[in-house]
């Protein structure tokens, strides 16, 4: 398949260490469900009237270089206009977290957004399954987007930080209005340690698209087009809730939508493609009669194996400002705001 070259919606280059904890959470609103072979260790059902600040923190402002690192136009706030919990959402299990981007002048920007993270409060690693039920209802125009993703919580011994992308990045859900019939699930990492310093060339990205209609990887990667979708387009990601999940093993990661595995990334050379040849290989294979994207490998150097460590969760919306830099492209003048995304719940399981 064609090599991916897209950037994520939001990148922050340096991440400091956070907690390394996946013990059972004593929350009162635990979901009444079981996943065979797993124990629920953490969740937020978003059934209370306010965001649970024991689990989440707001990230506000405009990010690295004033644009969250990818040319975005929005300013993230902690206002209820951008981050709220609402009830009465169609097909939700209970309440929903609602993250909304708005076209409005606020401080120094013409768009506002919401962004929350579990950094410093909870982090998860191999042995966990991380999933969320999400409906990007209003993400229908080029330049609108939402991400459910993870960044490193740990840092190497003797280091004050871990530089991006040496520390890795996991994108479980990247949904943009410019590509309305597909979700993107990806890993980002570095080819070389480079003394834990950022180098523009030192960035690897292996990702796969999930086609909602086919419920597998499409035969050809999609391009921008088909937007804005109408409310009755059942094969668009904006039509209804879907479950976006990420299964973390000691040797690989599996990306799922509605429990269908569509991308498997192996950490070591030769694990996905034999023989080992020190190349980042990628190809679609038929597994259980479904096109599944296989990729390798992210353990390129001994100083730090990114996906063998703990990561924290991020939920973020954005407004794109650059066709070449922002995944999903620049915002179109006819884009409709406010643009809301509904998150029914986020759950983390540990394999028994």
Q: Give me the residue spans of the domains in the chain.
A: 14-351
For the ranges 5-14, 88-97, 192-201, 220-229, which has the lowest average pLDDT?
Answer: 5-14
User: How many CB atoms sit inside 10 A of residue 233's CB?
Assistant: 16
Q: What pLDDT was estimated at residue 65?
A: 82
Average pLDDT of 248-277?
A: 97
In whole angstroms, give the CA distance from residue 74 to residue 106: 9
Ranges assigned E (strand) in 227-281: 242-248, 252-257, 260-266
Which is higher by pLDDT, 236 or 325?
236
Average pLDDT of 202-210?
A: 98
Per CATH, which fold does 14-351 belong to? Jelly Rolls (2.60.120)
Q: Residue 185 half-sphere exposure, CB side, CA atoms within 13 Å?
A: 26
Q: What pLDDT was estimated at residue 26?
A: 39
Best CA proximity match to 206, nearest among 249, 253, 161: 253
Average pLDDT of 171-181?
A: 98
Helix, strand, coil abundance in the chain, percent, nearest 5: 5, 40, 60
For the ranges 17-31, 272-286, 337-351, which has the lowest average pLDDT?
Answer: 17-31
Q: What pLDDT was estimated at residue 19?
A: 57
Q: What pLDDT was estimated at residue 64?
A: 86
Element spanning 206, H or E? strand 204-211
In whole angstroms, give the CA distance from residue 212 to residue 232: 14
For the ranges 15-24, 35-44, 174-183, 228-237, which has the lowest average pLDDT?
Answer: 15-24
Q: What pLDDT was estimated at residue 23?
A: 46
Decide: 205 and 6 in contact? Cβ < 8 Å: yes
For residue 91, CA distances in Å to 48, 86, 165, 241 come to: 18, 13, 38, 8
Decide: 177 and 184 in contact? Cβ < 8 Å: no
pLDDT tens figures, 289-306: 999 999 999 999 999 999
Q: What pLDDT was estimated at residue 15?
A: 57
Average pLDDT of 122-143?
A: 98
Does position 117 have pLDDT exceeding 50, yes or no? yes
Best CA proximity match to 244, nearest among 345, 318, 99: 345
Query: Using omega within 30 degrees of 0 as the cis cutoff, is the peptide bond preceding 338 cis?
Result: yes
Burial class (CB in 10 A: 0-12, 13-18, 19+), 58: middle
In whole angstroms, give the CA distance from residue 345 to residue 77: 21
């Amino acid at each position: 398949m064609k090599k991916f070259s897209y950037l994520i919606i939001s990148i922050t280059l340096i991440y400091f260490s956070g907690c390394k904890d996946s013990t059972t959470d004593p929350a009162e609103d635990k979901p009444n469900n079981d996943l065979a072979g797993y124990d629920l260790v953490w969740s937020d059902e978003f059934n209370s009237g306010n965001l649970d600040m024991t689990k989440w923190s707001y990230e506000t402002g405009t990010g690295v270089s004033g644009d969250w690192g990818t040319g975005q136009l929005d300013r993230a706030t902690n206002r209820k206009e951008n981050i709220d919990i609402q009830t009465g959402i169609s097909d939700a299990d209970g309440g929903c977290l609602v993250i909304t981007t708005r076209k409005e002048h606020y401080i120094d920007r013409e768009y506002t957004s919401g962004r929350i993270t579990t950094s410093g409060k909870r982090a998860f690693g191999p042995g966990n399954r991380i999933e969320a039920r999400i409906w990007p209802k209003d993400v229908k125009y080029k330049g609108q987007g939402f991400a459910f993703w993870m960044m490193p919580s740990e840092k190497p011994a003797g280091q004050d930080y871990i530089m991006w992308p040496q520390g890795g990045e996991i994108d479980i859900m990247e949904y943009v209005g410019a590509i309305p019939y597909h979700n993107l699930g990806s890993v980002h990492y570095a080819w070389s340690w480079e003394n834990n310093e950022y180098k523009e060339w030192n960035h690897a990205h292996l990702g796969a698209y999930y086609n909602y209609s086919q419920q597998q990887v499409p035969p050809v990667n999609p391009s921008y087009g088909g937007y804005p979708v109408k409310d009755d387009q059942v094969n668009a990601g904006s039509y209804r809730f879907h479950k976006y999940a990420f299964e973390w093993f000691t040797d690989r990661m599996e990306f799922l939508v509605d429990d269908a595995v569509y991308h498997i990334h192996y950490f070591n050379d030769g694990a996905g493609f034999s023989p080992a040849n020190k190349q980042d290989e990628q190809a679609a294979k038929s597994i259980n009669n479904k096109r599944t994207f296989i990729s390798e490998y992210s353990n390129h150097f001994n100083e730090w194996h990114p996906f063998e460590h703990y990561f924290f969760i991020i939920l973020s919306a954005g407004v794109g400002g650059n066709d070449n830099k922002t995944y999903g492209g620049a915002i179109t003048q006819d884009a409709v705001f406010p643009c809301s995304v509904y998150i029914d719940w986020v759950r983390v399981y540990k394999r028994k």
